[in-house]
Amino acid sequence: MGNWSANLETEEYAADRNLILNDSVEAILETNPGNFVNLAVSEAHGNPDAYLVPFLEERFGTSIRIQFIDQCGCGGYVYRVFRQSAAM
């Protein structure tokens, strides 16, 4: 998949932080190398810098680059994850 966005802000994500982690990994794997996925993440589990970013960095290492975009008016967070290589 080319550049796209994954909505991880619905009630099911607000209720289950592990679902955010698992679906973030799946979204990155579905993204073609050289492209990015915007992860729109529920605010229910606090700032994703504390749990999502370290998890993804450990899982993918240097094959991704993560950029914080903004905190939405609704309270959620948006991260752009660039998939840099096919090897994961």
Evaluate if residue 88 carries a pLDDT over 70: no
What local confidence, expressed as pLDDT, does residue 74 receive? 78
Domain extent for 67: 4-83
What local confidence, expressed as pLDDT, does residue 10 receive? 95
Q: Strands, E, within 1-88: which ranges?
A: 4-8, 36-41, 64-71, 77-83
Yes or no: say if 41 and 76 are a contact pair by the CB < 8 Å rule.
yes
Six token digits for residue 32: 């073609």
Asked if residue 10 is part of any domain, the answer here is yes
Asked if residue 88 is part of any domain, the answer here is no
CATH of the domain at 32: 3.30.110
pTM (2 decimals)?
Answer: 0.93
DSSP string, 5-30: EEEE-SHHHHH-HHHHHHHHHHHHHH
What local confidence, expressed as pLDDT, does residue 77 receive? 96
What local confidence, expressed as pLDDT, does residue 87 receive? 65
Give the number of domains in the chain: 1
Nearest Cα to 88, choosing from 60, 53, 66?
60
Q: Which residue has the higher pLDDT, 29 or 85?
A: 29
pLDDT in tens, 30-75: 999 999 999 999 999 999 999 999 999 999 999 999 999 999 777 8
Asked if residue 42 is part of any domain, the answer here is yes
